[in-house]
């Protein structure tokens, strides 16, 4: 995503977008809002935003790998006062989001006219008001106001898109499981991986002593979570993989029977531990890992994973938190 489409030729809107995306190519297109010169009310302003986006589609500029931005300013009434507000809407790969600028009061001597902007009309009465950037009279800058709204909107778009990527993960039938989700998509995309680690970190209390990862995919995500939190990482391995280890009883997973083991050289007593894995299915591995650690005096505060398989119901006795739940 190195190109941004701006549905306007406005210099102020261009500068606001360029401030947020300084290293992107910004393509401006001529667009029509289809609303009065001075729109009034949120519905009318939003109509202008969507009409401008429609122009980009008509011109074939709504490419799937490009960010498309549409911006419209207008007037709203709050109680007895009039305010200027900007609406920013961003589209990216079937995801969209809206944000609003700060409301700026309009001078009380302005007489509303749908055919002329308030800045242009007020500039006739007050030389301090510049019709292209009228907020200067309040020591505000329309470019900065729009920039702040664009940043908020873009951050929300990024989060929505990454959630959508998780919900759209590939899956295949595997060992009797109809939907075995493939985490390759997460590992292949550095931004998505960073997003997932950040979301896992949000699920963990700051007073945690250890992060424990379960073999094998917990070894991918667990160390990254531990590194982010600056906590020690401990491995929960399959039985027979550790010398001088402490081994659990055998337990059932969604497609096999397993045992796990932990190092006998670490101190577990009274240590607050959070378990990390990629997917919760039956909860069997979390359950057995918790039992094994608690048998050594540890306190297992939580189990966290990226995905909860809602279709597998046998985990009611396991406390866990996830980023998303999938069928």
Which are the catalytic amino acids? 217, 254
* Spatial CA neighbour of 64 closest among 105, 42, 26, 95: 95
Report the C-alpha gap between 220 and 213 in whole angstroms: 8
What are the CA-CA distances from residue 252 to residues 2, 101, 119 (Å)?
48, 54, 70
Smallest CA-to-CA distance from 307 within 133, 190, 185, 223 is with: 185
- 256 class by beta-carbon count within 10 Å (0-12 exposed, 13-18 middle, 19+ buried): exposed
10 Å CB burial of residue 281 (0-12, 13-18, 19+) is buried
Find, among 126, 157, 162, 154, the residue nearest to 20 by Cα. 154
On the CB side of 308, how many CA atoms lie within 13 Å of its CA?
16
DSSP structural state of residue 40: B
CA distance to 19, 149, 200, 303, 315, per residue, from 318 (Å): 48, 42, 17, 8, 6
Q: How far apart are CA 115 and CA 134, in angstroms?
A: 17
Phi then psi dihedrals of residue 63, to 5 deg: -70, 145
Neighbours of 43 (CB within 10 A): 10
Separation CA 126–CA 327 (nearest Å):
62
């Amino acid at each position: 995503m190195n190109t941004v489409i701006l549905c306007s030729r406005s210099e102020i809107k261009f500068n606001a977008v360029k401030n947020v995306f300084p290293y992107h190519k910004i393509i401006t297109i001529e667009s029509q809002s289809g609303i009065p010169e001075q729109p009034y009310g949120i519905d009318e302003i939003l109509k202008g935003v969507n009409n401008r986006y429609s122009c980009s589609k008509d011109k074939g500029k709504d490419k799937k790998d490009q960010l498309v931005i549409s911006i419209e300013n207008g007037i709203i009434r709050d109680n007895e006062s009039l305010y200027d507000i900007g609406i920013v809407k961003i589209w990216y790969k079937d995801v969209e989001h809206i944000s609003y600028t700060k409301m700026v009061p309009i001078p009380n001597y302005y007489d509303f006219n749908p055919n002329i902007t308030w800045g242009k009309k007020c500039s006739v009465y007050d030389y301090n008001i510049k019709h292209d950037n009228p907020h200067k009279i309040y020591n505000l800058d329309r470019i900065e106001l729009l920039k702040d709204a664009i940043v908020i909107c873009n951050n929300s778009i990024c989060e929505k898109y990454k959630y959508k990527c998780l919900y759209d993960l590939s899956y295949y039938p595997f060992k009797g499981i109809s939907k075995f989700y493939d985490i390759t998509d997460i590992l292949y995309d550095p931004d998505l991986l960073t997003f997932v680690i950040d979301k896992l970190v949000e699920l963990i209390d700051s007073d945690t002593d250890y992060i424990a990862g379960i073999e094998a995919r917990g070894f991918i995500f667990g160390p990254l979570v531990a590194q982010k939190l600056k906590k020690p990482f401990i491995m929960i391995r399959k039985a027979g993989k550790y010398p001088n280890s402490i081994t659990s009883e055998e337990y059932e997973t969604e497609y096999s029977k397993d045992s796990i083991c932990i190092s006998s050289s670490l101190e577990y007593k009274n240590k607050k531990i959070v378990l990390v894995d990629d997917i919760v299915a039956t909860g069997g591995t979390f359950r057995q890992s918790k039992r094994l650690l608690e048998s050594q005096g540890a306190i297992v505060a939580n189990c966290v994973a990226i995905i909860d398989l809602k279709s597998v119901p046998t985990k009611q006795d396991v406390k866990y938190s996830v980023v998303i739940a999938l069928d």
